[in-house]
Amino acid sequence: MTHPLPEGYAVRPASPADVDAVLELITACDLLDFGEPDYTREDLLEEWGEIELSTDSWLVHGPSGQLAGYIKVDHRDHVRLGADGYVHPDQRGRGIATHLIERTESRARELAPLAPPGIRVTLGNATNSADEQAVALLRARGYTLARRFWRMAIEMDTPPAPPELPSGITIRTIRPGEEYRAVYEAQQESFRDHWGFVPRSFESWMRRTESASFDPSLWFLAEERGGIAGVALCTTFLEQGWVQTLGVRKPWRRRGVALGLLRHAFGEVHRRGRRSVALGVDSESPTGATKLYEKAGMRVIRQFDIYHLEVRPGREPAPEPEE
């Protein structure tokens, strides 16, 4: 039985008309946790494009109609499910978070039979590692720490040094419309051995090019003899540059391609008048990404923890086969 809401509170699925109210709620939480917004309308719309709102999202409203909480669950492969939720700072301590988490757990149990037979199914929940109440709630419900992610950033008071590229490597911007498929394939291949990787369809991946924040002049390709060695897909958020994706295919790793792409991005962001660049990274990245970013002058500014609840026992899914 789902944990009851306080008297006068009600729950319902989100709808596209709720996007601004939900963004306002998320922003209120970000301001409390980080002192600044950390989410955009485009981020939310992109996430909602990946789920069925009627079955995979929930809003809690208070007695006067105010939005008190929100959560959603995504499940592209029915194996690694993920939940992301928020409770308004003024509404915390009333059991709303417990109610919403239980909704996602119930949904995860409904979805588990859709996963391949014998494969372990987990429900992940990401939280700011400094939020002691959220961590305590998850642990009390049987979640265990699965992975730690960092937000890393660099401040650029002066123009950054130009990249030093390996012999034969050049960097250029994408040719919009012509190379999306090739960039998609390079990105998917470069992330195949990363923790928690879930293959994404080309149609789903292409939604990022429909976002208001999409800027193809900030999508950089490292090439060698006409082949894509790596990609740095960037955008801007408020007054900051943001590296959404930095990936290098295995044959070109450990040659300085990633560092070259990163420093190229730093230079272009600085040229446009922004003085900081940030990205998110797995703190245990198998490719050594954290050391690379430190070498580039970035430092850890935030930490997020991924907690997992086992929904169905089984064997871990096999890695995607190499092509």
Q: What range does the domain containing 102 cover?
A: 10-148+305-312
Q: Is residue 321 part of a domain?
A: no
Tens of pLDDT, residue by residue over 305-315, are: 999 999 999 99
Q: What percent of the chain has a predicted confidence (pLDDT) above 70? A: 98
Q: Which of the four pLDDT bands, split at 50, 70 and 90, describes residue 46?
A: confident
Do 172 and 108 lie in one domain? The reply is no
Average pLDDT over the chain reads 93
Q: Is residue 49 part of a domain?
A: yes
* pLDDT for 263 beyond 70: yes
Do 87 and 223 lie in one domain? The reply is no
Do 219 and 191 lie in one domain? The reply is yes
Do 89 and 58 lie in one domain? The reply is yes
Q: Is residue 113 part of a domain?
A: yes
Do 19 and 161 lie in one domain? The reply is no
Do 254 and 171 lie in one domain? The reply is yes
Is the model more confident about 321 or about 168? 168
Do 80 and 99 lie in one domain? The reply is yes
Do 65 and 127 lie in one domain? The reply is yes
Q: Is residue 53 part of a domain?
A: yes
Question: Tokens 């943001």 correspond to what residue?
Answer: 242
Q: Is residue 4 part of a domain?
A: no
Do 130 and 193 lie in one domain? The reply is no
Q: Residue 48's pLDDT is what?
A: 94
Stated pTM of the model: 0.88
Sign of the torsion angle spanned by Cα atoms 267, 269, 272, 276: negative
Do 72 and 113 lie in one domain? The reply is yes
**Number of domains forming the structure of the chain:** 2
Question: SS in 3 state form for 50-73?
Answer: CCCHHHHEEEEECCCCCEEEEEEE
Question: SS in 3 state form for the chain?
Answer: CCCCCCCCCEEECCCHHHHHHHHHHHHHHHHHHHCCCCCCHHHHHHHHCCCCHHHHEEEEECCCCCEEEEEEEECCCCCEEEEEEEECHHHCCCCHHHHHHHHHHHHHHHHHHHCCCCECEEEEEEEECCCHHHHHHHHHCCCEEEEEEEEEEEECCCCCCCCCCCCCCEEEECCCCCCHHHHHHHHHHHCCCCCCCCCCCHHHHHHHHHCCCCCHHHEEEEEECCEEEEEEEEEEECCEEEEEEEEECHHHCCCCHHHHHHHHHHHHHHHCCCCEEEEEEECCCCCCHHHHHHHCCCEEEEEEEEEEEEEECCECCCCCCCC
Do 247 and 125 lie in one domain? The reply is no
Do 196 and 86 lie in one domain? The reply is no
Q: Is residue 317 part of a domain?
A: no
* pLDDT for 322 beyond 50: no
Q: Is residue 3 part of a domain?
A: no
Q: Is residue 85 part of a domain?
A: yes
Q: Residue 76's pLDDT is what?
A: 78
Q: Give the residue among 136, 195, 144, 156 at the shortest CA–CA distance from 298.
A: 156
* pLDDT for 227 beyond 80: yes
Give the CATH number of the domain where residue 53 resides: 3.40.630.30
